[in-house]
Amino acid sequence: MQDSSSTNRGTNLDPWYGAYAARTAGLSASEVRALFAVASRPEVVSLAGGMPFVAALPEDLIRSAFDTVMRTQGPMALQYGSGQGVPALREHILEVMAEEGIRAGVDDVVTTTGSQQAIDLVAKLFLDPGDVVLAEAPSYVGAIGVFRSYQARTVHVAMDSDGLIPQALRETIAAERAAGSTIKFLYTVPNFHNPAGVTMSAARRPEILEIARSNGILVVEDNPYGLLWFDKAPPPPLRTLEDDGVIYLGSFSKTLAPGFRVGWVLAPHAIREKLVLAAESAILSPSSFNQLVVNEYLNTADWRAQIDVFRGVYRERKETMLSALSEHLPELTWTNPNGGFYVWVTLPPELDSKQMLPRAVTELVAYTPGTAFYADGGGRSEMRLSFCYPTPENIRMGIRRLATVVGGELDLLRTFSGTGTLRVNRPDRRVVSPPPDLG
Amino acid sequence: MQDSSSTNRGTNLDPWYGAYAARTAGLSASEVRALFAVASRPEVVSLAGGMPFVAALPEDLIRSAFDTVMRTQGPMALQYGSGQGVPALREHILEVMAEEGIRAGVDDVVTTTGSQQAIDLVAKLFLDPGDVVLAEAPSYVGAIGVFRSYQARTVHVAMDSDGLIPQALRETIAAERAAGSTIKFLYTVPNFHNPAGVTMSAARRPEILEIARSNGILVVEDNPYGLLWFDKAPPPPLRTLEDDGVIYLGSFSKTLAPGFRVGWVLAPHAIREKLVLAAESAILSPSSFNQLVVNEYLNTADWRAQIDVFRGVYRERKETMLSALSEHLPELTWTNPNGGFYVWVTLPPELDSKQMLPRAVTELVAYTPGTAFYADGGGRSEMRLSFCYPTPENIRMGIRRLATVVGGELDLLRTFSGTGTLRVNRPDRRVVSPPPDLG
C-alpha cells in the first residue's frame, strides 16, 4: 500500500513545494484509493470498492440509446451545452425523484459530473477555512475528503440502527457553538448509508430537519442508493418534508452506470443559481453526449424494471454476505442493510482493521478499514464490506478468507497477551479459484 | 440580458444569504454566459460564442468508435475508472502532443473533464486568497473566472502582435513584488490567443520562460487551438523548452468535439500527483465511456486528416470575417489570427462595446464585449468576434449588421458632441434570412 503521507505534502524534491495553496495540504490519498490498486489484482476478492455490478445492465439498451441520440441529436451531443444541464434530462430527473416522492421544478435541478461533483460544488459555495460540517459517524470517505480540501472540519454525530441520533445532533451543535465553531451544513446519507448500511427512520426525519431548521443549518441529503431497496422502500427523502433547507443530491451511477458520470443536485433557487455558476467555472458544462444518452435511455428503456433487476442482484449478494458472516465470523457484529451496497462490521476492540489489511491482502481478500470513514481517527476496529460487485460465490469465499485473517490476528494477540486462543473457522482458501472478473 | 449583479451576491430573499463562503462572492455570471441566452435566438448571427463547428466531423467516425467500445470494452466503459484517466487514452494524448513537438511520459498526463477542469484543478492546488495570477491583457474569460473563484487576483501583462511582451512581464513582476504580492503562476495562451487571436513569437518563448524561471514563477500553458493553424504551424509549445516549470493544458474540444468533455493536463511529477488527488476529490474519475470513445476514435480514425478538415473550415471563415471587416468597418482595427477561433477588434475610443451590445442584438448580431476578458475593467472599446461557428455567409451578414450598429453609435455620439457624422455602410439586414442552425 502506498503511504498516503508521502503524497499529501510537497517534498524537497518538488521545486514547487513552497507554492501550493494552504488547502492542498488537505488533499491526501484516501485509504479507499490506495485499495483500488491492491484490489485490482484478479486473485483478490475485493469487498472494498463501491463499483456497481454493471454487467446486470443489458448493453443493448445503451447501444440503442446511443444510436437514437446520434441519429436525432448528433450535433447537440457533440457540442457544448448549458452549465445547468440538458433540460430534457432534467425533466426525466424529476420523474426519477418522483419515484421517492420528491416534487420539484425542472429549473431547480442541475446535472453534474457524478454526484461527487455536486458535493464538491456545494462545499465550494459554502465552506470557508475552519468551518464545520456535521456528518454521521462514520461518513462517506469521498465527502470527508472534499470538506477537508476546502479546509473545513468534519465533526461526526453518532448514529445507531435508526440513523443519525437527534439528541446527539443537538448536543454536537451545542458543543460546537459553545466552542465558537461556524457550522455550515449537515451532510447526511439517510438511506442505506455509506458506509454504515443503516437507514434513518421515518420518525427521526422530521426531527432531524427541525433541529437543523431551528439552528439555521442547511441539510445536504446525499441519496445515491434510495431506489436500491431490498424488502421495502425507505421512508421518503428529507427533501419531501422540507424545500428551503435541503440540498438534495442524486446519481445515475448506481441505478444505471457510473461510466457516464451523470449525477444531479436539487437546490433551493438562490443556491441553485450559484451552483450553476460554480459548475460553469469548474467544467463549463457537463457532457452533452452523456446526458443525452442517459436521457434517451430514460425515454425508451423500462428503467424501473432495470432498477428492479439491480435490486434483485444486490439483495442476493447482501443475503449471501450476511449468512457467510454468521457462519464464519459469529463473534463479530454487523449491520443489516435493507438496500444499497455496504455492510458495516465491528471487530473485537483489540483488532485494528487498518493494521490487519496487509494480512488480509496476503489471504487474497480486501475491505475498507473503518478509519477511512472518520475525520477524527475513529473507526479503528470497524470495517466496510461491500457486496455490490463480487458474485455470491466470491462473497462467500471472501468472507471465509476474512475469517482466516481475523482468526489469525486474534490468535496472535491472545497468544502474546496470554489469554489463550479463540478458534475461528479457517477454511482452505484454495478450494475455489476466483474467476477473473473480480475487481 | 440578465444583470450579473443580481446573481453574484446573495440577497435578502435567500435564507442562506449569510452562509456562503467568502469565495462565493467571486462567482458571477460572465458576460459570455449572459450572451449565450441572447445569441441562442435563431435570428441572431452570433459572433460571440466559442462553439466549434462540429458538423464538420463525420458522425460515422463517432458511431464506429462507440460500437467498437461497447463490443470490446462495454463493462469498462460503464464503470468507474481511475482518477488519472484511461491509460490507453493517455498514450494517445502523447501522440497528439507529439504533433506539436512535446515529449512526455504517460504517467505525467491526467485526463480531465474538458481543459476547463484542468484550469480549475491547477487553481485549486495553488491559489490562496489574495494570490496573484499573471495573464495576458486580455485573457480567457473562463480562466479569469476560475482564479476569481479562488479569491486570487488576475494581473494583466501587455501583449502585442507577437504575444506577451517580455519587458512588460518583467515590470509587472517587479511592481507586484514591490507591492508585496505573491505571484503563483503565469497563465498564458501562446497560440491563437483567446480572445486576442495573436501568437507568441518563437523568439519570445524562451525569453518568457527564462523570466518565469528566474523569478520562480510556474507557467500554465493553455493550448486548445495549437493544431488548428491556417498557413503554418505556430512555434513549438513552451513545454517543449522546459519540463519542470510548465503545466501544459490540452483539449479534444476543438480538434474533435466538446460534447465529450475530454481534456488533459501534463504536469511535473509532484504536481501531477496532487492534480490526481484534486481530480478524485472533485469527480472521483472522468467518464470512462467518453474517454474510451475518444480513445477508439484516435485508434481508428484518421484524426490528423480530420484536423486538416477543421483547419480548412476555420481558415475560410477567418478570411471571410477579415474581408468583411475591411469592406464594412475599415475605420476599426483588428488582429489577423493564423489559427484558432477569434479576432480581436478595437473600436474608436469613444465607443463602449458593452453599452453597444443591446443595440447590436436589436440588429440581430452578437459579439463578446472586451471587458469580459479583463479582470481590471479594461477592454471597454474592444470586442471579441468569433468565426468558428457561423457559416461564411452568416459571418458576412453579421459583420454588415455590426457595421450598422457601429455606424449608428458613432452617428449618435457625434451628433450629441457636435462633431458631425461619420457615414458607415448600413446594409439592409433583411436581405438574407438567417438559416436556423445558428447559435
pLDDT digits over A341-393, tens only? 999 999 999 999 999 998 999 999 999 999 999 999 999 999 999 999 999 99
Q: Which has the closest alpha carbon to B212: B179, B236, B247?
A: B247
Rounded distance, CA B307 to CA B224, Å?
13
Name residue B385's beta-bridge partners.
B343
User: CA B329, B332, B337, B343: dihedral to nearest 10 degrees?
Assistant: -80
With beta carbons under 8 A apart, name residues in chain A contacting B15.
Answer: 244-245, 268
* Count of Cβ atoms closer than 10 Å to residue A426 Cβ: 17
For range B171-193, the mean pLDDT: 98
Q: Which three cell numbers stand for residue B191?
A: 497560440
Kindly give the pairing relationship between strand B45-46 and strand A246-251. unpaired
Inter-chain residue contact B277 with A8, CB threshold 8 Å: yes
Rounded distance, CA B74 to CA A120, Å?
28
Instruction: List the single residue in A with minimal CA-CA distance to B83.
Output: A33
Inter-chain residue contact B78 with A19, CB threshold 8 Å: no
Inter-chain residue contact B131 with A80, CB threshold 8 Å: no
Interface mutation vs chain B, best among A261, A271, A294, A296, most B CBs within 10 Å: A261
Q: Which of B145, B259, B281 lies nearest to residue A288, judging by beta carbons?
A: B259
Q: Which residues contact B43 (CB under 8 A, 6 or more apart)?
A: B364, B434
Q: Is B306 exposed, middle or buried (0-12, 13-18, 19+ CB in 10 A)?
A: middle
Q: Give the lowest-confidence range in B132-141, B199-208, B335-344, B410-419.
A: B410-419
How close B113 gets to chain A, by Cα (Å)?
Answer: 6
With beta carbons under 8 A apart, name residues in chain B contacting A70.
Answer: 59, 62-63, 66
Judged by phi (left if over 0) then psi (alpha if -120 to 50, else beta), residue A427 lies in beta
Q: Is B129 exposed, middle or buried (0-12, 13-18, 19+ CB in 10 A)?
A: middle
Inter-chain residue contact A63 with B70, CB threshold 8 Å: yes
Inter-chain residue contact A21 with B63, CB threshold 8 Å: no
Interface mutation vs chain A, best among B284, B310, B341, B438, most A CBs within 10 Å: B284
Q: In what order do the strands lie in the sheet with A183-188?
A: A109-113, A262-266, A246-251, A218-222, A183-188, A132-137, A153-160, A163-164
Inter-chain residue contact B54 with A19, CB threshold 8 Å: no
Q: Which residues contact B410 (CB under 8 A, 6 or more apart)?
A: B348, B350, B351, B421, B422, B424
Q: Which domains does chain B have, with CATH numbers?
A: 24-56+305-414 (3.90.1150.10), 60-300 (3.40.640.10)
Radius of gyration of chain B (CA): 22
pLDDT of residue B206: 98
A106 pLDDT more than 60: yes
pLDDT of residue A35: 59
pLDDT of residue A34: 63
B251 pLDDT more than 80: yes
With beta carbons under 8 A apart, name residues in chain A contacting B58.
Answer: none
Interface mutation vs chain B, best among A28, A64, A71, A80, most B CBs within 10 Å: A80
Inter-chain residue contact B74 with A59, CB threshold 8 Å: yes
Per cent of chain B over pLDDT 70 is 90
A32 pLDDT more than 70: no
Inter-chain residue contact A271 with B16, CB threshold 8 Å: yes
Name residue B159's beta-bridge partners.
B164
With beta carbons under 8 A apart, name residues in chain A contacting B297.
Answer: none
With beta carbons under 8 A apart, name residues in chain B contacting A77.
Answer: 259
User: How is chain B split among helix, strand and coil, in percent rounded to 5?
Assistant: 45, 15, 40
How close B428 gets to chain A, by Cα (Å)?
Answer: 31
The answer to whether A231 touches A196, Cβ cutoff 8 Å, is no
Instruction: List the single residue in B with minimal CA-CA distance to A152.
Output: B21
Burial A383-417 (b: 16+ CB within 10 A, else e): bbbbbbbbbbebbbbbbbbbbbbbbbbbbebeeee
Rounded distance, CA B229 to CA B123, Å?
28
Residue A311's pLDDT band, with cuts at 50, 70 and 90, is very high
For range A84-110, the mean pLDDT: 98
With beta carbons under 8 A apart, name residues in chain B contacting A264.
Answer: none
The answer to whether B43 touches B439, Cβ cutoff 8 Å, is no
Rounded distance, CA A203 to CA A208, Å?
9
For range B165-177, the mean pLDDT: 98
A-B Cβ pairs (cutoff 8 Å, strict): 251
Q: Which of B21, B50, B283 lies nearest to residue A126, judging by beta carbons?
A: B21
Burial A84-108 (b: 16+ CB within 10 A, else e): bbbbbbbebbbebbeebebebeeeb
Interface mutation vs chain A, best among B36, B38, B280, B391, most A CBs within 10 Å: B280
Q: Cα separations (Å) of B304 from B11, B191, B297, B309?
A: 51, 18, 11, 9
B7 pLDDT more than 70: no
Inter-chain residue contact B277 with A27, CB threshold 8 Å: yes
Q: How does pLDDT run across A228-242, given as a tens digit for each residue?
A: 999 999 999 999 999
For range B301-310, the mean pLDDT: 97
Burial B142-171 (b: 16+ CB within 10 A, else e): bbbbbbbbbbbbbbbbebeeebbbbebbee
Instruction: List the single residue in B with minimal CA-CA distance to A288.
Output: B259
Q: How does pLDDT run across A261-274, given as a tens digit for each residue?
A: 999 999 999 999 99
End-to-end CA distance of chain B: 16
B122 pLDDT more than 80: yes
**Position with higher pLDDT, A153 vs A428:** A153
Rounded distance, CA B121 to CA B276, Å?
9
How close A14 gets to chain B, by Cα (Å)?
Answer: 6
A431 pLDDT more than 50: no
With beta carbons under 8 A apart, name residues in chain A contacting B67.
Answer: 63
How close B17 gets to chain A, by Cα (Å)?
Answer: 9
pLDDT of residue B430: 34
Rounded distance, CA B175 to CA A287, Å?
42
- pTM attached to this predicted model: 0.92
Rounded distance, CA A108 to CA A263, Å?
14
Q: Which three cell numbers stand for residue B244?
A: 519542470
Rounded distance, CA B218 to CA B119, Å?
14
pLDDT of residue A70: 94
Q: Cα separations (Å) of A189 from A138, A220, B304?
A: 11, 9, 48
Per cent of chain A over pLDDT 70 is 90
Q: Which residues contact A123 (CB under 8 A, 6 or more apart)?
A: A133, A146, A147, A149, A150, A152
Rounded distance, CA A239 to CA A101, Å?
9
Q: Which of A27, A75, A126 lies nearest to residue B19, judging by beta carbons?
A: A126
Instruction: List the single residue in B with minimal CA-CA distance to A15.
Output: B244
A408 pLDDT more than 70: yes
pLDDT of residue A310: 98
* Count of Cβ atoms closer than 10 Å to residue A206 Cβ: 14
Inter-chain residue contact A259 with B16, CB threshold 8 Å: no
Q: Is A213 exposed, middle or buried (0-12, 13-18, 19+ CB in 10 A)?
A: middle
Angle CA B289–B294–B299, to nearest 5 = 120
How close B398 gets to chain A, by Cα (Å)?
Answer: 22
Which phi and psi (to 5°) does residue B365 adopt? -140, 145
Query: Number of helices (H) and strands (E), helices first, in chain A?
Result: 12, 14
DSSP state for residue A42 in the 8-state scheme: T
How close B231 gets to chain A, by Cα (Å)?
Answer: 26
Kindly give the pairing relationship between strand B163-164 and strand B153-160. antiparallel
DSSP track, B214-234: HTT-EEEEE-SSTT-BSSSPP
A427 pLDDT more than 50: no
Burial B21-30 (b: 16+ CB within 10 A, else e): bebbebbbbb
Inter-chain residue contact A51 with B80, CB threshold 8 Å: yes
The answer to whether A56 touches A310, Cβ cutoff 8 Å, is yes
Q: How does pLDDT run across A314-334, given as a tens digit for each residue?
A: 999 999 999 999 999 999 999
Range list of H helices, B181-268: 204-214
Instruction: List the single residue in A with minimal CA-CA distance to B116.
Output: A283
Name residue B220's beta-bridge partners.
B187, B247
B234 pLDDT more than 70: yes
Inter-chain residue contact A7 with B273, CB threshold 8 Å: yes
Interface mutation vs chain B, best among A9, A280, A437, most B CBs within 10 Å: A280
pLDDT of residue B436: 30
Residue B416's pLDDT band, with cuts at 50, 70 and 90, is confident
pLDDT of residue B39: 62
Taken in order B65, B66, B72, B76, is the CA torsion positive or negative? positive
Instruction: Report the largest interatomic distance among the alpha carbons of chain B, rounded to a whole angstrom.
Output: 74
* Count of Cβ atoms closer than 10 Å to residue A281 Cβ: 27
Kindly give the pairing relationship between strand A365-366 and strand A45-46. parallel
| Secondary structure (3-state) at B411 | helix
Using the structure block, give the residue that is written with the C-alpha cell 478570411.
B319
Instruction: Report the largest interatomic distance among the alpha carbons of chain A, rounded to a whole angstrom.
Output: 74
B420 pLDDT more than 80: no
Q: Give the lowest-confidence range in A280-294, A375-389, A408-422.
A: A408-422
Q: Cα separations (Å) of A257 from A53, B37, B78, B176?
A: 9, 32, 5, 49
Rounded distance, CA A183 to CA A170, Å?
12
DSSP state for residue A41 in the 8-state scheme: S
Rounded distance, CA B224 to CA A368, Å?
40
Rounded distance, CA B387 to CA B389, Å?
6
pLDDT of residue B12: 58
B222 pLDDT more than 90: yes
Q: Which of A124, A150, A218 lies nearest to residue B19, judging by beta carbons?
A: A218
Residue B3's pLDDT band, with cuts at 50, 70 and 90, is very low
Give the H/E segment covering residue A291.
Answer: helix A288-300
pLDDT of residue B6: 41
Inter-chain residue contact B113 with A11, CB threshold 8 Å: no
A129 pLDDT more than 80: yes
| Secondary structure (3-state) at B158 | strand
Q: Which has the closest alpha carbon to B279: B68, B125, B106?
A: B125
Q: Which residues contact A325 (CB under 8 A, 6 or more apart)?
A: A332, A334, A343, A345, A399
pLDDT of residue A4: 40
Q: How does pLDDT run across B102-112, given as a tens digit for each residue?
A: 999 999 999 99
Q: Which amino acid is at B1?
A: M
